[in-house]
Amino acid sequence: MNDMSDVSTRATLRAGSREWRIHRVSELAPPRLPYSLRVILENLLRHGAPAGQVRAVAGWEPRGERTAAVDLHPARVFLHDTNGVPALADLAAMRDAMAALGGDPGRINPAIPAELVVDHSVIADVFGRPDALARNTELEYERNAERYRFLRWGQASLDGFTVVPPGKGIMHQINVEHLARVVMRRGDEAYPDLCLGTDSHTTMVNGLGTLGWGIGGIEAEAAMLGQSVTILVPDVVGVRLHGELPVAATATDLVLTLTELLRAHGVVGKIVEFHGPGVTALPVTDRVTISNMSPEFGSTAALFPIDAETIRYLRFTGRSDEHADLVEAYARAQGLWHDPGAPPVYTADLDLDLGSVVPSIAGPRRPQDRVPLDAAKAAFRAGARSPVPADQEITHGTVAIAAITSCTNTSNPSVMIAAGLLAKKAAERGLRTKPWVKTTLSPGSRVVMDYYGEAGLTPYLERLGFTLAGFGCMTCIGASGPLVEEVSRAVAEHDLDVAAVLSGNRNFEGRIQPEVRSSYLASPPLVVAYALAGTMDLDLTTEPLGLDPAGRPVFLKDIWPAPEEVRDVIERVIRPEMFTRAYAGVLDGDERWHRLDVTGSATYPWDPASTYVRRAPYLDGMSPEPPPVTGIAGARVLVKLGDFITTDHISPPGAIPPSSPAGRYLTGLGVPRHRLNTYASRRGNHEVMMRGAFANVRLRNELAPGTEGGLTPDFLDGGTITTVYEAARAYQRACVPAVVLAGEGYGAGSSRDWAAKGPALLGVKAVIAKSFERIHRSNLVGMGILPLQFLPGEGAAELGLSGRETITVHGLAALGDGHVPPAVTVTAGGVTFEARVRLDTAREAGYYRHGGIMPYVLRDLLRCSL
């Protein structure tokens, strides 16, 4: 039997007055199969997967060996602008290549819904002023009109490609509040809303009972074009929640606790599922805050099963009664409905008493580095740098940025209302934000400002400087804009370690703002508190935030809102019609958007003078058949890196420094220094992005000790220290391949495909690391870079590798025949070792043999069109 798509699984489901066709997984799935695997099983059945794949999921053993791979077909692909623009550029380049090879360029078109939200481009240039929103929006269009025009071309030229214009909110919050279906409907067929997105925090939708995760942009392109996404059948870790949060703890404190717990347990490549009586007590808004942070755990997804609270939230946010009825009926029929007393069987079982959660922050460099609030001052002092003159007001630990930002927390009314109430109480006691703190408010949804206005909290937030700066990611993705001038000057003069406090999901080195060395994740009310304190060198639990006009000390406990206060405001002001009104015109842009008038066409009219959108050379000269696979011989190490190197280290998203290779390239083309914009905004220009590879200002390359930034030796020039870009170009001119050496967790963080594209364009042929984060390893394969993993107990240091050796990888020819050797032999100078080949599926071996996903898909479509 080749497939099992019709093995007694077709059934009819009645929901309300309608009947729907479904594939009933209970016919094959054991009763206690995890929720996520039930969704995967349904996907395989509906798409007629081979019997072996169906059996691998239906017969899943909790502690079995994970060698089986399955091919999934997402229900939709979800993108944002800074990943969506390069993805669209790749599709446009594929149309050109298809035409050049004699095929129909129209074949390059989404086969499933592709939804893009413009949310990553607005920068917090202006803050603390009534005109901050208007001015930042004006600047956004001035900088990005060319990119937005390109998106409008895609909307006009590609069927099924939908764009949510700027200023509507953050993609994941819009997804949860409006776009997510939970159960898809097509004709009379109903099936799960399996949502894959080009941002790793696509997992936020897991809190709504929807399975989804982040993939790289190049993998998303393949999925859009009808290709399946291949994954290993995963381990599934269960987390039982019970008890209730203490009165002083917030959902943010809970998620930081879970991040610490799950990162320590080890869930990379695994799916996490939450269950138990504590889940029943959590509103959807708390659940999505937790699921949003799944990439910070390291997990593929972090799923909350569907229950009565899910259905209530769907109705409350404007989904129709008919659709809510369908979701409930479907979940109950397919074993996707949460039963707190009868959890699935898991690979591992963890337990968390919600009552054990305490107020916390995380930092200064990683989301999993949780610090209880009452230990924050001591932790800061333990890691503080040498002191500066005592009379200096701005010093180490000065809070330079306090930002209420990110879909992680701005999607959650409980912490947002708490921030507003704390601001009200602080303002009424006469407290003011310290003048050196850059304060911003950038919600992920317009609904936030509606309920702030209804509750009368906006004036108090504005009095403390938290004026609406824009609807978008802003500080969370490093679009922080400049610091207060006095702070910037003090940092430069005294090499200060100043801090950012933000309600975001990431605080990696160099991410938030180039001049800020330490960044802390915190709940929105704690962001306001630290803005009042102005320093990390303060114990908020025992020391006053400041003095009132009468000289009396004001402590955090004096102005911290009680849970019942927060709950009363939420119940009084937040209404379903707020969501209905906010999303009624979600696809309608303002007059600036409509002025970007474009005409659809089969191929894109590239502008050779563009500094934002250029055709990358990935497919130039591509042959109809792939060339033979050859070994990697005589390679030099481009960079030698330590543990937990993030995609932010490899491909920074923030401001482009004028002195960087990318900055010099742009200024050489006549771009003014103040218009350089961010790396994220210029991802449609490969010339910028290849110069930005390994250009993070905080990157420490062991080949260039004592330095920070994108510096490395050029071994063809006697080891002269130069930029990574210049060294790589020298190797390319000499036809010398490059490799990267790294430690544990290489490629953690964002699903940023440019962390693979940039190195590929610089001639990197392999990355040899102790371990890889899931998405980045897939991205490397998708760009034709070979991921090799040191064997357990080995690494560059353990093997005595300096990184100055010439490296050769033996035994790759078998890949040309479709065979994946479990390991290959690597010779590095006088050292020979074995390395595991991390091409985990036959599909990935095919991608590598073709030189990446794009040529693989293009050749496949070409064969079908000729």
Domain assignment present for residue 77? The answer is no
Do both 413 and 540 map to the same domain? yes
Do both 562 and 642 map to the same domain? no
Do both 434 and 464 map to the same domain? yes
Q: Report the DSSP pairing between strands 546-547 and 553-554.
A: antiparallel
Query: Which of these, 123, 118, 195, lies nearest to 149 by C-alpha position?
Result: 118
Do both 347 and 368 map to the same domain? no
Burial 247-260 (b: 16+ CB within 10 A, else e): ebbbbbbbbbbbbb
Do both 349 and 388 map to the same domain? no
Identify the domain containing residue 727 by its residue range. Answer: 627-652+692-850
Domain assignment present for residue 183? The answer is no
Domain assignment present for residue 161? The answer is no
Residues 6+ apart with CB under 8 A from 324: 311, 314, 315
pLDDT score at 5: 45
In whole angstroms, give the CA distance from residue 163 to residue 147: 13
Do both 648 and 783 map to the same domain? yes
pLDDT score at 138: 96
In whole angstroms, give the CA distance from residue 490 to residue 570: 42
Do both 521 and 482 map to the same domain? yes
Domain assignment present for residue 770? The answer is yes
Do both 790 and 742 map to the same domain? yes
In whole angstroms, give the CA distance from residue 775 to residue 746: 10
CB-CB contact of 504 with 407 (8 Å) = no
Q: Which two tokens stand for residue 360?
A: 């916390």
Q: Which two tokens stand for residue 256?
A: 């930081």
What average pLDDT values come out for the chain (866 residues) when binned by 10 residues? 58 95 93 97 96 96 92 96 93 94 93 96 96 97 94 95 96 97 97 96 98 93 93 97 96 98 96 97 97 95 98 97 98 97 97 98 96 97 75 92 96 98 98 98 97 98 98 94 96 94 93 94 98 97 97 98 97 97 93 92 94 94 91 96 95 92 97 92 96 95 95 97 98 98 93 93 98 92 97 97 97 86 94 96 92 94 76
Domain assignment present for residue 79? The answer is no
Rg (CA), the chain: 26
CATH number for the domain harbouring residue 716: 3.20.19.10
Phi/psi for 607 (5° steps) reads -100, 110
In whole angstroms, give the CA distance from residue 152 to residue 154: 5
CB-CB contact of 319 with 284 (8 Å) = no
pLDDT score at 2: 41
Residue written as tokens 């602080």? Answer: 426
Do both 240 and 352 map to the same domain? yes
CATH number for the domain harbouring residue 396: 3.30.499.10
In 225-320, which residue ranges form alpha helices assigned H by DSSP?
251-265, 277-280, 284-292, 294-297, 308-316
CATH number for the domain harbouring residue 287: 3.40.1060.10
CB-CB contact of 549 with 431 (8 Å) = no
Q: What is the pTM of this model?
A: 0.91
In whole angstroms, give the CA distance from residue 99 to residue 799: 49
Do both 634 and 551 map to the same domain? no
Grouping H, G, I as helix, E, B as strand and the rest as coil, residue 694 is coil
In whole angstroms, give the CA distance from residue 849 to residue 837: 14
pLDDT score at 865: 64
Do both 411 and 431 map to the same domain? yes
Domain assignment present for residue 196? The answer is no
pLDDT score at 208: 98
The number of folded domains in the chain is 4
Do both 638 and 773 map to the same domain? yes
Domain assignment present for residue 864? The answer is no
Phi/psi for 577 (5° steps) reads -65, -20
Q: What secondary structure does DSSP assign to 97-112, as a single string?
A: HHHHTTS-GGGSS-SS
Domain assignment present for residue 718? The answer is yes
